[in-house]
């Protein structure tokens, strides 16, 4: 696991890499598109829960939500969002809610970028 001083630059990652889905489905076919839609509908509430838990000081709950969102993003190739969630999760597990909250400000934009990239597929 990375340390705070070793944070990656999440915004240098690809917004959406179709590689993981083409490996799983052979192409971006109807099933891959259903998976992407499921990703969007299931990840949006996770990110909302993450932000709410940050606001209420529930660092453990926020870390769990960040971890889940990271996994979903990485499986679908949304690596920028996944990296941002990973950094937030790391900070939360280290007890640094303030820095995690500062990074979480970027979640809505990162999610919107993925959503737009999926629409362009």
Tell me: pLDDT of 31 over 70.
Answer: yes
Q: What is the pLDDT of residue 13?
A: 83
pLDDT band at 21 (very low <50, low <70, confident <90, very high): very high
Q: What does the pLDDT average to over 36-57?
A: 97
% residues pLDDT > 70 (the chain)? 91
Residue tagged 């259903």 (tokens): 34
pLDDT at residue 10 above 80? no
Burial of 96 (0-12, 13-18, 19+ CB in 10 A): middle
64-95 pLDDT, tens digit per residue, is: 999 999 999 999 999 999 999 999 999 999 99
Query: What is the predicted pLDDT for the residue at 12?
Result: 72
- Percent of the chain exceeding pLDDT 90 equals 88
pLDDT for 5 beyond 60: no
Q: What are phi and psi of 8, to 5 degrees?
A: -80, 165
Please state the length of the chain.
121
SS (H, E, C) 73-114: HHHHCCHHHHHHHHHHHHHHHCCCHHHHHHHHCCHHHHHHHH
pTM for the structure as a whole: 0.89
Domains of the chain: 15-120 (1.20.120)
- How far are the Cα atoms of 12, 27, 35, 37, 88 from residue 101, in angstroms, in the given order? 20, 37, 29, 27, 8
């Amino acid at each position: 696991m990375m340390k705070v001083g070793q944070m990656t630059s999440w915004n240098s990652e690809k917004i959406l890499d179709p590689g993981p889905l083409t490996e799983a489905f052979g192409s971006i076919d109807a099933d891959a598109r259903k998976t992407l839609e499921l990703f969007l509908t299931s990840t949006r509430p996770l990110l909302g829960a993450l932000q709410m838990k940050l606001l209420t000081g529930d660092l453990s709950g926020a870390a769990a939500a960040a971890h889940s969102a990271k996994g979903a993003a990485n499986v679908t190739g949304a690596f920028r969002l996944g990296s941002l969630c990973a950094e937030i999760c790391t900070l939360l597990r280290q007890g640094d809610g303030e820095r995690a909250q500062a990074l979480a400000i970027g979640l809505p934009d990162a999610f919107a970028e993925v959503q737009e990239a999926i629409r362009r597929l």
